[in-house]
Amino acid sequence: MEIDSISGEGRMERKKRELRQKIINVAMKLFEQQGFSNTTMEQIAEEADVARKTLYNYFPVKEAIANEYVRGISTQMAEEALAKLQKLPDTRSRLLKALNNAYGWVELNPELTGIVLAYRFKTSYYSYDKNQDSKNEFQERGTYRIIAEIIRQGQQSGEIRSDVHFKWLVRYVDLLRGTIVWEWLQDTSSFELREEISRMVDIVLDGIRSDDKRSK
């Protein structure tokens, strides 16, 4: 079955990948033109020239299309960012840099960000329906990947405590980041995004206890 696993990929696999990409492109074009909620799966199928059912074979819900598109961008940005992060001196600066990095895009694409954030929470929280994504969603991609790398590095260097599995630490940071971004999207004038993120990083690093009450 998996003959051309590395070199080529077989006509079938290639066609599937191409169609998948075509769907994403078509859908994103429609979303841009008419807005996300005004675009139906029917339209997307029509425009991509496949049966509606086929579209559903590729993406079980509309949000999944947007998600995959954003994930692509995010993964790409992550790779570029990772290299630069090595030069920074400590975990705090790396975290701040990494988290702040993505906001330019977020600010330009608030609606899409909202949709994708919502979808990710939904699938990661509501996977009584187990599609293959649900578990991998929070896996090592995009911002999650960067955070994971930073935490891992922090644990190796002894900067971050090692008595908690890094999986949890990463999840926490990613989740809190998501919450802040979302809150900000709701009302962009209510607070300064970067400021709040910075405060969050402080909390995660140092905890919420008053300094003067700290043991030692």
160 contacts a copy of itself (rule: CB under 8 A): yes
Binding segment for a copy of itself among 20-28, 45-53, 64-72, 115-123 (CB under 8 A)?
A: 115-123
Nearest to 204 by CA among 170, 157, 181, 155: 170
Positions in 117-176 near DNA (CB under 7 A): 129
Binding segment for a copy of itself among 24-32, 52-60, 140-148, 196-204 (CB under 8 A)?
A: 196-204
Positions in 54-113 near DNA (CB under 7 A): 54, 56-58, 60-62
For 89, other C-beta atoms within 10 Å of its C-beta total: 7
16 contacts DNA (rule: CB under 7 A): yes
Nearest to 105 by CA among 133, 138, 81: 81
Which residue in this structure is represented by tokens 């955070």? Answer: 147
The per-residue DSSP string of 180-197 comes to: HHHHHHH-TTSS-HHHHH
Question: Tokens in use for 144?
Answer: 């999650």
Please state, in angstroms and rounded to a whole number, the distance separating the CA atoms of residues 93 and 162.
Answer: 20
210 binds, among DNA, a copy of itself, none (CB under 5 to 8 A by kind): a copy of itself
Shortest CB 200 distance to DNA, Å: 32
Binding mask 43-62 for DNA (x = CB under 7 A): ------xxxxxx-xxx-xxx
